[in-house]
Every structure is written in structure tokens, then in C-alpha cells.
Amino acid sequence: MDELKRLIRDVPDFPKKGILFKDITTLLREPLGFARAIRALADACRHLEPDLVVCVESRGFLIGAPVAYLLGAGVVPVRKPGKLPARTIREEYALEYGTDALEQHEGAVERGQRVLVTDDLLATGGTAAAAGRLVARAGGVVAGYAFLVELAFLKGRGRLGAAPIVSLISYDGE
């Protein structure tokens, strides 16, 4: 995974001063690197046997949809409030300053379906945990979580419960 890690660019002071942002767009623009990352993530999650892959807005769409395709699973987008056209269920979650929310369509996840929750990056775990709660509220079973990148030093895994967590690239102290 070191060659994939080299394709990720560091952007200092984004989105605010003191943050070192891990920019995956430089990996996405490299066809072989992107393909390798998606195949590796799908292979690492195949044993979870998901029926659906929940993709968290917006970079999670870029990761989760091709993973779902390779796994033969359906795709469920999870979006910020007001972006989905039909009736939704909503889950609020805490941010460093304030709260935010995610929504998914009612009925998008059916009782008992196995769901893989995906996003591009696991940081503090708040967004992924909210997506997992949406799945559970709909009656689905969180089969696992999958991320291209994990900022392990932020300890987001601790917010995700007992479901398996897969991350391809980990940063331990950057």
C-alpha cells in the first residue's frame, strides 16, 4: 500500500489552519492507482458478504460505488440534509463545533440486509458512526466499515462499535 500512500497529497492548513489534509484526488486521477485501491478494498471486504454498500457523501460515492460493483452489491447514497428527492430518515451527529446530519431514503435498506458502510477517510468516526446508526434504524445489519484512508491517531475506530473495520492506508501520527 506504500505506492498508494505516495499518491495521496498533503495539503497544509486545509480546511483550517493547523490541519494537514490528506487529499485523495491525486490518487483518483491515476487510473492504475485508483483501480488498485478499489480492487484491494473490495477484496478486503468480500468476506463480509454485503447486500448493500452505503456510500457517504461525497468522496464516499467515489469509493463505495465501484467497491459495490465489484462485490455484486447495491448502492445506497447517504447525503447531507435536503439532497435526496424522496422521504428520508435522518441522523444527527456531533462535530468539533456544533452538529451536522446525514439522511438516507426510507426503505433504501431493508430489515436484515447486510450493509458495508464506506467513505474515503476515517478520522474521528462521527460521520461513519452516524451512517451506521442510519443502517441500524432502517433494520439493516452493519456488516462492516471500509475506508481508503484512516487517520489512526484520531482513534475514530472506537466510535464504530464491534463491526469489522477495513482501511487500506493508515497514518499513525501525521
Q: Alpha-carbon distance 61 to 69, whole Å? A: 12
Structural domains of the chain, ranges and CATH numbers in brackets: 48-171 (3.40.50.2020)
Rg of the chain (C-alpha set) = 15
Give the pLDDT confidence score for residue 174 in this predicted structure. Answer: 56
Write out the chain's pLDDT in tens, 174 residues.
899 999 999 999 999 999 999 999 999 999 999 999 999 999 999 999 999 999 999 999 999 999 999 999 999 999 999 999 999 999 999 887 789 999 999 999 999 999 999 999 999 999 999 999 999 999 999 999 999 999 999 999 999 999 999 999 999 975
Please pick, among 59, 79, 91, 103, the residue that the annotation labels catalytic.
59
Burial of 150 (0-12, 13-18, 19+ CB in 10 A): buried
In whole angstroms, what is the distance from residue 18 CA to residue 14 CA?
Answer: 8
Per annotation, catalytic residue among 3, 29, 96, 174:
96
Instruction: Mark 117-142 as b/e (b = at least 16 C-beta within 10 Å).
Output: bbbbbbbbbbbbbbbbbbbeebebeb
Catalytic annotation present for 96: yes
- Please indicate whether residue 159 is annotated as part of the active site: no
Partnered with residue 146 across adjacent β-strands are: 118, 166
* Helix segments in 46-125, DSSP class H: 59-71
pTM over 0.85: yes
Task: Classify 138 in phi/psi space as left (phi over 0), alpha (psi -120 to 50) or beta.
Answer: alpha
